[in-house]
Amino acid sequence: MRVTVFGATGFVGSYLIDALLEHGHHPVLLVRAGSEHKVNQPDKCTLATGDIADPAAVRSAIDGADAVIYNIGILREFPARGVTYEALHFEGARRAMDAAEAAGVSRFLLMSANGVKADGTGYQRTKYMAEQYLATTGLDWTVFRPSVLFGDPRGRTEFATQLYRDVVRSPLPAPVFYDGLLPMDAGMFRMSPIHVKDVAAVFAKALDMPETEGRIFALGGPEALTWKDILQTIARTAGTAKWMLPAPVLLLKGLAAMLDQYAFFPITRDQLTMLMEGNTCDGYEPFRTFGLVTTPFDTSKLSYLRIEGRK
């Protein structure tokens, strides 16, 4: 099957290419000029040069495809640079959906996120808008909503590696956030970390499973871990220990209000809001549908952090 992928040069995209090739599909990738070196296994893919903002480039990449995967996503936006959730999560996705319909390509897989909602943060809201638009099309669609993703970053941004660099490796105590005035439940919000290979495998398998059409799958790992659990596991894997200190999230949101427009500041107000909401789901049933067993978030599967620990 010839599969057009939008968002193939990032962390998840590199694993999507692997999974598609392993399942006998041929990836066609829309890649911005100058980013060709970021493509995984380029000799086995067809590369189309262009940008998601260019309708002609999108149409060209989809021409002749049997299916489309939309995987473009950003964790923070920089409106001054034209990098916004609206442009990439919604407008780009809508452009790809419209082009797929016009080209007669019926199968469409959308990468969304666990916890999306109409009244959420900018990240959540624009992902939700893309889902809603997709449901109005005539495409044979499937939506995937993963929790936080982990796995060897391959030189890209990744959840566990970023936490190691920004929090665990820092000489400062690790912040365990809490709402309100008293730190009664500091660091007790939970997440269901899911391995990127598991998510990529689900995408590839879904292409040959018509029973997944018209469905939304929440994808999470086998455990709902607290923030404290996650930080301790990362520290233990990297061969260190980490002192933790309760931190009022309201104070950090105040700092973020002044500084999250700058790339050097490690977290945004929206990210803090989503962090405190937690990010859990029961991944057992969805993965049983695809005949897969989820990968645990433990020291054996985080071995790539040991390299980080030696830097």
Question: What's 304's domain CATH number?
Answer: 3.90.25
Q: Are residues 20 and 86 in the same domain?
A: yes
Domain CATH for 44:
3.40.50.720
Domain of 134 in residue numbering reads as 2-149+193-219
How many structural domains are present in the chain? 2
Q: Note whether 273 and 174 are same-domain residues.
A: yes
Whether 310 shows a pLDDT value over 80: the answer reads no
110-146 tens-digit pLDDT = 999 999 999 999 999 999 999 999 999 999 999 999 9
Q: What is the pLDDT of residues 202-261, one digit of tens each?
A: 999 999 999 999 999 999 999 999 999 999 999 999 999 899 999 999 988 998 888 888
- Rounded CA-CA distance 199/212 in Å is 15
Alpha carbon distance 241, 220 (integer Å) = 27
pLDDT over 80 (residue 308): no
* Strands 215-219 and 174-178, sheet pairing: unpaired
Indicate if 124 and 178 belong to the same structural domain: no
- Residues 104, 249: Cα–Cα separation, whole Å: 48
User: Is residue 244 within a helix (H) or strand (E), and if so which, with residue range?
Assistant: strand 244-248
Say if residue 215 is in the same domain as residue 248.
Answer: no
Provide the whole-model pTM: 0.94
Q: Is residue 301 part of a domain?
A: yes
Asked whether residue 286 is assigned to any structural domain, the reply reads no
Region 154-168 average pLDDT: 93
SS3 261: coil
Flag whether pLDDT at 36 surpasses 90: yes
Q: Give ∠ CA 85-116-186 in degrees, rounded to 5.
A: 105
Residues 118 and 248 occupy one common structural domain:
no
3-state DSSP assignment of residue 175: strand
Q: What is the pLDDT of residues 14-23, one digit of tens each?
A: 999 999 999 9
